[in-house]
Structure 1
């Protein structure tokens, strides 16, 4: 009987893993996860994502145990760990799901080399995208650079493959003697444990992902197209961290959503809008694969010379939710307390940092990388570059979100702001998104002292907008 290692990566589930199914058909399966922070470099997981990884690995381990096996955990250099394992066990192949970020592509080459040197087959399989990047091209045979034609092409292409079940006759190889307990990966925060309450907010793992998708398609999707822009409404799927760590595959989401649409044709607009958001994730990965430099450099080269300011005091105010603009502060506080931020508010807060504060998009991207449970190397980068105006299919630079009107439009009754900025709770709706304009009597009645209980705006919107446009004009001249 042959033994195949299945190396888990961003795919912490047992269903719809073509590589795992192939390994099962070939013989015994040795399930393995290696935490390799050194290989990841500056893409080593941030604190919030490490919390999610811990619990997703825990859930995967329990799932494998119920199936009669044991998840093996190692920490260190992936190639070295694999070479040691292959030298000590009779293993014929190593399978994994393909990854697309620059460091993961480089790691795959190292793992292939290590396997080949020992006469072991190394094989990658699809599983983390709807379509492989090489399969989606424009009429010139080049990668798409604009989302709408990209997604239109995807929707006209052959439908994503059906999810692959794990064979019922799967047999598991004997566990590794040198495997590490999950706690030794040191993924959870301590001193202080700032995520102590997160287990009441999230359920990492494939079962949590399945229930989250089910709940969304049974209820929230009915108002998705309009409700998704309103942060106080429970209209979004909240599947992003599950997709990030592969608790569920995009193909599972796609086919489940399409099945719901067949049963309820009246939901066509809502479900198509939801699937388009899955398409943005897809587009982001295609960009990262074809243009890997976008992790660090602007997609639009003219932004190489943009005169970013990078004021540390203003940055700290933004990070702490103390900008004086309520909807921005609500978003930043939601992020800190939950590891998540509503998508509309992500756009508003990113626009504020890059355009009101003229702070480099990489600075904001790094903060989100550390604080989001769904911090994704493709979506995080593409979305920040979109907000900054430097990315593919980016918002025009002169489109500068007004944080007051954004709050008034998408949080008109102030439910979202009052939840996360409780010091403003007693202000009437009229002044909630612009407290600095409230008369003294109104502030007194609300028990609010601006500059003490809540800050004055750290920048004036009109002046900041003019400064951002002037900076943009400078690089256009160049």
Structure 2
């Protein structure tokens, strides 16, 4: 087909790769010449801690993207345009400066992103420039998997079944977005040929990824994927145990688009249906695919119910009276800092604080503990995870927290409360994970690491541990906290039943 636009601008956002990139593919098909841009948006950067690891991840990934653009053409005058400011100002101004007739990007259903894009669209329209978003970071968009009454699903299993019925090779096929790219890239303005800025140059801490074994960019995603594929057949068996190398560790790469969701879903789907694999191996792949479908599910919940970013999915649960005041604040600090006296909870929080990563099983355990043991508002924990997680994604983070708090769609029943000790005994039986992140109790025999306050005085003495000095006593009694939580939720549930 002949190009529709002499000049196009591709705006990279959460899609930091050239291969299998929907917006880039659409731009290549419709434009004679292309420019590529990434905006270091001050509306986002201003709210981040100075030691935010995600800034360094993005900067390193952008540097690799810039190098890939230059390598695709063999020219030094092409590459990624990187500008800092407000996207609402920069994109329309850059389109005018470059003489672009269209701006291509991959869409984003987060409320702030929708507001930003609406502002950009209005300004571009005034300049007679088209704004053309594509679907890229999920398999199905907000309205592609609906109930028979054409309403969004609010329960995961029916959504998953509909997702699986709808899926075909078409939805999993990749876009040949690198084809002819080198020939279409236009020379950047002279001022934009400087290297991608580092985190330090942006005013953020340097070296935040040192020692974390978190490779960045597309090359980092390829490395992690290659490491995971031999482990995929055992995913179902290993995924819940934080001391084992079970997960793919690709979540941060999915978040910033240094790997394609279509590629991962295709691998999982084909492996789950591979008759050459034994049933247990196929089950491992099917379980991984199910996790990817959960991701789509939470995206469509956020798209159709944006109120979840501030309130409960189920309005009745907004009436819950959470603990507040200085004592509640002290409990929250203990949870954040990993000093609740429950070793598995503390180990998980310390893992998060030191690495920006938390095992998925432990995300559920720590969230349940905050809400149902400490009686604190789930939004406090959600905000803390949003600040700390390398792979923070609004839809998944909100969905996970509301699931744990029993306030969301398809949530954990309100009367189901994780016991942090039995969770520890089941999923870290030898206390290996605990010993790594809570060395204060590592000298105890493995069976005593789960609840050191239950150890005999002689056992504590032999390990050189004095509770309350070397490691805290539990900040709450789980059994008593459980009863209090059941009463807290029962009041709301009773009121809700009377109103219905």
Q: Which runs of 5+ in 2 are unaligned?
A: 496-500
Tell me the CA shift for residue 359 of structure 1. 1.1
SS of 2:288 mapped into structure 1: helix
| Pairing of 1:273-292 with structure 2 (within 5 A) | 273-292=287-306
CA distance in 2, matches of 1:190, 1:117: 36
- Measured after TM superposition, the shift of residue 322 of structure 1 is 0.4
From 448, 459, 471, the equivalent of 1:442 is 459
Q: How does 1:7-18 map to 2 (within 5 A)?
A: 7-18=11-22
Q: Does residue 169 in structure 1 map to residue 180 in structure 2?
A: yes
* CA 418–405 in structure 1, closer or farther in 2 if over 3 Å, else same: same
What SS does structure 1 have at the residue aligned with 2:108?
Answer: coil
Question: Per-residue CA shift, 1:95-148, capped at 9, x if unaligned?
Answer: 000111111112222222122111112111111110111111011110000001
Give the corresponding residue for 2:498.
none
Secondary structure (helix, strand or coil) at the match of 2:418 reads coil
Q: Tell whether the 8 Å contact from 1:305 to 1:475 is kept in structure 2 after alignment.
A: yes
SS in 1 for 2:14: coil
Cα gap change, 1:337 to 1:41, in 2 (>3 Å): closer
Matched, 1:97 2:102: no
Contact 2:39 2:82 in 1 (8 A): yes
User: Are residues 1:258 and 2:269 paired?
Assistant: yes
Task: Provide the TM-score with structure 1 as the length reference.
Answer: 0.94
> Given that residues 50 and 203 in structure 2 are in contact (C-alpha distance below 8 angstroms), is that contact kept between their aligned partners in structure 1?
no
Structure with greater contact order relative to length (CA < 8 Å, sep ≥ 6): 1
Alignment-derived partner of residue 283 in structure 2: 269
Q: How far does residue 330 in structure 1 lie from its aligned partner after superposition? A: 0.5
Q: CA shift at 1:67, angstroms?
A: 1.6
Q: Which residue of 1 aligns with 2:223?
A: 211
Residue in structure 2 matching 1:151, options 131, 152, 160: 160
Report Cα offsets for 1:360-416 as digits up to 9, x if no partner. Answer: 111111111111100001000000000011000000111111000000000001111
| Counterpart pick for 2:52 among 47, 52, 73 | 47
Tell me the residue number matched to 2:32: 27
Count of residues paired in the alignment: 475
Out of 365, 389, 401, the position equivalent to 1:348 is: 365
Q: Which residue of the other structure, out of 6, 16, 29, is the alignment partner of 2:10?
A: 6
Partners in 2 of 1:146 and 1:117 — Cα distance? 42
Quick check: 2:57–2:209 contact (8 Å CA) kept in 1? no
Give the distance between the partners of 1:188 and 1:406, measured in 2 at CA: 42
What is residue 210 of structure 2 aligned with on the other side?
A: 197
Which residue of 1 is the match for residue 239 of structure 2?
228
- What is the Cα deviation at residue 186 of structure 1? 5.5
* 1:305 is aligned to 2:316: no
How far residue 181 of structure 1 moved from its aligned partner, in angstroms, is: 4.9
CA distance in 1, matches of 2:431, 2:425: 8
How much does 1:49 deviate?
A: 2.6
Task: Look up the SS of the partner of 1:456 in the other structure.
Answer: coil
| CA RMSD between the two structures | 2.1
Distance 1:39 1:321, change over 3 A: closer
Is 1:141 the counterpart of 2:150? The answer is yes
Identify which range, 385-394 or 68-77, moves more after superposition. Answer: 68-77
